[in-house]
Amino acid sequence: MTNIPRQLWVSLRSFGVFFLLWWLLHLWNANPLQLPSPMKVLEALWMLLREGEITEHASVSTLRMLLALTLAIVVAVPLGFLMGLSRRAEQYVDPLVEMLRPISGIAWLPLALFIFGVGDTLPVFIMFYVGFFPILLNTVAGVRQTDARLLAAARTMGIGRLPLLIHVLVPSALPTVMVGIRLAFAASWAAIVAAELIGAPSGLGFAIEWYRQLLMTPKVFAFILAIGVVGYLCDLGLRDLQRKLTPWAEGTGVAP
Amino acid sequence: MRNRMFDSRRSVLIRNITLPVLLIVVWQIWASTLPPGSPAPAPLKVLQTLADLLSTGSLVSATLQSLGRVLLGFAVGSGLGIAMGLAMGASPAVRENLDPIIESFRPIAPMAILPIAILWLGTGTPTALAIVAYASFFPVLINTVHGVSRVERKLILAARTMGVSRWTILTRVVLPGAMPSILLGTRLAMGVAWTAIIAAELAVGAKSGGGGSGGIGQMMFVFYAYNIDLNAIVVCMAVVGVVALLIDQMFRLFEKRLIPWRH
């Protein structure tokens, strides 16, 4: 019980030192365009929050991410099950996956700009692409890891193919799939900034670049802070979902 | 028996190449139905562009420039990551105090700090280096801390009992013990770093009106914005993929060489 206030105290102390260093650095640098004081940044953050600008851009970005991740899950999870269950399916699909996987989502930007133009589709496509591979690979691994004895036991009891899938394979693969979804989220949240920076008229990445061009540095810092906070909150939410969906798999989620 | 095995290996090969070949054939057929002036890329044109770009040497020099930046930025980022990771792993006090700061920077993507890097360092190589260093720092740091925490406590205690100095314990016991984790971290970091350099060069090109940053990302941007050539963009994408694959394989080889006891 006494651990929590102590942890809080340590965090506060660390942040105190961090802000003090930042403030001293800002005095030494003396160029508010490059490094504004921490107070200026907090003020900008407060202003942007009060005017609703941050929440507006953050919700646009979050919606795009949700859409992309949902699409990635809908495509990658069934495909992963198919590839995990059938060697033949894997032999067909795997080379294509391994051919595309090393090409990072960012490298698709110029081509995707031509195909989709500037707008909503481009960031969604990039995030879908980036999130697809971790989910697929983790699903395949999860299905493969299913205890062969469980499968044999279920078959011995004369279970049908569909119940086998629902009652044995899915619960067994789900924890690994959830880890894949968290990895996919991290990757697509990192890619969203690049995608919006170049190819979208709205969203957090766009806002950062917009205020950089206007040389309103405190607002740039405020939006960067917002990206970190929203990313952190989403990861907390996913961890919570992981705990609720797969309570039998405590500990699989600690992969750093 | 022998015949059957050969047969099945051949059918596996056929299954393996079916989809990639089908993809390329359909793509070529689709492209040949387009009107002649269309900018759409086609496999044959991509090959021709590859040959052209290779013969002028511009593709090789751009790739080498990007690789040089990645290696330099990676060296800075992972050096810092290993040093800080060892300190954090060895001393609970250091770890406790740095953890809140590190954890709050971790969700901020390398690309998000690009605008600040441009403000501070301009649109040239230093910005690209900073982004790469930032990107590779976190995977190395986190895996180093993890590796150090997994070093067997008994080994350290035994060394201490025998009166070994702290520095020797660090270099002879802790570092080899944490090595598998550190190497994993550097491999992950190198992958992230290669992605980050492409993003940085692309975005710097896009946001500075094609200012001279160079590298393969910049090359892609030039082919996108100035001399519009989608075939060349596809060539660049393929190069990005091949380099990523080679880097990954190289690091796996290092891992096998440096920590043979794990294989």
DSSP E strands in B28-160: the ranges are none
Q: Which of B201, B184, B212, B191 is nearest to B74 (CA)?
A: B191
Q: How close, in Å, is residue B164 to chain A by CA atoms?
A: 32
Which of A67-76, A96-105, B109-118, B217-226 has the highest mean predicted lDDT (pLDDT)? A67-76
Going from N- to C-terminal start, the domains of chain B cover 45-262
Virtual torsion, Cα A103, A107, A110, A113, nearest 10 deg = 80
CA distance A27 to A4: 34
pLDDT digits (tens, 9 = 90+) for B195-237: 988 888 887 766 554 445 678 888 888 888 887 888 899 999 9
CATH code: domain of residue A172: 1.10.3720.10
**In this predicted structure, which of A125-129, B25-29, B34-38 has the lowest mean pLDDT?**
B34-38
Residue A126 · residue B199 · CB < 8 Å: no
With an 8 Å Cβ cutoff, are B111 and A109 in contact?
A: no
With an 8 Å Cβ cutoff, are B198 and A96 in contact?
A: no
Q: Confidence band (pLDDT; 50, 70, 90) for A14?
A: confident
Residue A29 maps to a domain: no
Average pLDDT over chain A reads 86
List, as ranges, residues 201-230 from A with C-beta within 8 Å of B: 205, 208-209, 212-213, 217, 220-221, 224, 227-229
pLDDT digits (tens, 9 = 90+) for A164-202: 888 888 888 898 999 899 999 988 988 888 888 887 788
pLDDT digits (tens, 9 = 90+) for B113-165: 888 888 888 777 888 899 999 999 999 999 999 899 888 888 888 888 888 88
- Number of domains composing chain A: 1
Residue A146 · residue A168 · CB < 8 Å: yes
ipTM (interface pTM)? 0.81
Please state which architecture CATH assigns to domain B45-262: Orthogonal Bundle (1.10)
What's the confidence (pLDDT) of residue B263?
Answer: 56
Tell me which residue in B17, B100, B118 faces A14 most closely, judged by beta carbons. Answer: B100
Residue with more model confidence, A134 or B259 = A134
With an 8 Å Cβ cutoff, are B241 and A198 in contact?
A: no
Cβ partners under 8 Å of residue A129, min gap 6: A105, A108
State which residues form the domain around A151. 36-254
Tell me which residue in A15, A96, A106 faces B202 most closely, judged by beta carbons. Answer: A106
Percentage of residues of chain B with pLDDT beyond 70:
93
With an 8 Å Cβ cutoff, are A108 and B114 in contact?
A: no
Q: How close, in Å, is residue A38 to chain B by CA atoms?
A: 15
Residue A218 maps to a domain: yes
Residues of B in contact with A99 (CB under 8 A): 20, 241
Residue A6 maps to a domain: no
Q: Which of B11, B13, B16 is the mutation pick for testing A, counting most A CBs within 10 A?
A: B16
Residue A74 maps to a domain: yes
DSSP state string for B102-119: HHHHTTS-GGGGHHHHHH
